[in-house]
Amino acid sequence: TQLLEQSPQFLSIQEGENLTVYCNSSSVFSSLQWYRQEPGEGPVLLVTVVTGGEVKKLKRLTFQFGDARKDSSLHITAAQPGDTGLYLCAGLTGTASKLTFGTGTRLQVTL
């Protein structure tokens, strides 16, 4: 059972468009990570957010951790074909020894 729901599940956009992916839970996380996974590969970490309300930017990607540390968003500006992949959020609770991954958002950016 995955406690982190991502939306949308699938997103197909054209190069240059903006998009936002959401990651929601009823649980509080001590930190939250975003990963990108390409076919045939393992997930690669993009960012870790720790503080409620925290905003981090990675080039054209902006990550926000909700004030209550239950949700997060990933915004991509001017998407490029190289952004294509499966985006996964993953939360860590203070008392658990494992990451809980979200359901995933598959993004396709076409020319």
Partner 1 sequence: GAGVSQSPRYKVAKRGQDVALRCDPISGHVSLFWYQQALGQGPEFLTYFQNEAQLDKSGLPSDRFFAERPEGSVSTLKIQRTQQEDSAVYLCASSLVRELRYEQYFGPGTRLTVT
List residues binding partner 1 (CB under 8 A): 2, 4, 6, 30-31, 33, 40-45, 48, 50, 88, 90, 92, 97-104, 106
Mention every residue, 6+ apart, whose C-beta is less than 8 A from residue 14: 109, 110, 111
User: CB of residue 41 vs partner 1: minimum separation in angstroms?
Assistant: 5
User: CB of residue 67 vs partner 1: minimum separation in angstroms?
Assistant: 19
User: CB of residue 4 vs partner 1: minimum separation in angstroms?
Assistant: 8
Please name every residue paired with 22 in a beta bridge, in sequence order, or none if there are none: 7, 73
* Collapsed DSSP state (helix, strand, coil) of residue 46: strand
User: CB of residue 73 vs partner 1: minimum separation in angstroms?
Assistant: 17
Alpha-carbon distance 21 to 17, whole Å? Answer: 13
Alpha-carbon distance 23 to 16, whole Å? Answer: 23
Looking at the Cβ atoms of 59 and 98, the one nearer to partner 1 is 98
